[in-house]
Structure 1
């Protein structure tokens, strides 16, 4: 349910309204007629898109877990591409300097490629935090839905959600340890779960209109997340 700039499809509209209603009143407190009315179609008309409420719930929870993982991988890939370009640029500069020195000394040689270093690791972690904050602010009903209704999924769907979430966590663990190499893996994993708890607290911050503003909320959450990781590294 990531934010889009183009118009949502009818299926996406149904899922968004179903998430909102399920979060507000609980899965069993909402009927298909109410979901249909929220998107301007009859309850039976929903069955052209989904076989039932269970299928909507599964697509919501499996879907957002997959989207978070895909988004994190994309951010890591983009950071890797940026690192490759930066490394190539640095390597070229080093080659020029080494070539000039070799010419003066009458020697040959080639420089080593410089690694990304802390700046790249920091950019990667910041990007992951920003992506999760976008989800936590824009898709608050899905957080409530996950907390309350995950056990209603079929075993296969619930296992898939857990599998996707574990992969997502491990990407974060890798990013955290790249920036804070003194953190052992179990401590980094605990820190990641703690930060998720912090970021996923947005449903408890009040109604959207009562928040200080999206940008201010995002900035606050980002500072708190970075502070939590730094504190874990200093412990």
Structure 2
């Protein structure tokens, strides 16, 4: 699944074959079928694993955070690890068109639920306008990360995670970007 995630991040799901995935994993392409019925099932497994990782990290962050700001910073950091170090953001957001409608809806709902946790840290519950602003800010932060990690020249920047952390915090309105 790691090889599939890396290739899909680099080239997009439509451009990656089961044979490519097998080769990247050090096995014959057809051997992938011993583990998955096809590319769609493999991609679904990658998405499920990414979502599970995000929720595990969310629980860890909320357990250890001493403030809402610390929790939000922790969520940004954990998302950056998944996006930059593991190359999963593109898989989580970019290739839902590869799935049947039922699976697409399941993954969209998982993403919405996850991002709602971020929004809850920004939203104090006073008005619909404030809730909408929090959701927009969260989506801006995540979209900035997702876009940057999909651009090969940006992925090679030595301080990418630190830069994206500052950009995400600025988008969230919690601090100005330096």
Cα distance, 1:191 vs. partner?
0.7
Distance 2:93 2:112 in 1: 16
User: Is 1:48 aligned to 2:48, yes or no?
Assistant: no
CA-based RMSD: 2.7
Deviations 1:78-132 (A, max 9, x none): 22xxx5xxxxxxxxxxxxxxxxxxxxxxxxxxxxxxxxxxxx1221111111111
Residue 49 of structure 2 corresponds to 63
User: Is 1:138 aligned to 2:85, yes or no?
Assistant: yes
> For 1:224, which of 157, 160, 167 is the aligned residue?
167
Instruction: Assess, with a 3 A threshold, how the Cα gap between structure 1 residues 70 and 157 changes in structure 2: closer, same or farther.
Output: farther
Unaligned runs of 5+ in 1: 1-14, 84-119
> For 1:194, which of 133, 140, 146 is the aligned residue?
140
Instruction: Assess, with a 3 A threshold, how the Cα gap between structure 1 residues 71 and 197 changes in structure 2: closer, same or farther.
Output: same
Distance 1:24 1:205 in 2: 8
The normalised TM-score by structure 2 is: 0.82
Q: How does 1:29-108 map to 2 (within 5 A)?
A: 29-79=15-65, 83=66
User: Is 1:127 aligned to 2:74, yes or no?
Assistant: yes
Number of aligned residue pairs? 173
Q: Choose 1 or 2 for highest CA Rg.
A: 1
Distance 2:11 2:164 in 1: 27
Unaligned runs of 5+ in 2: none
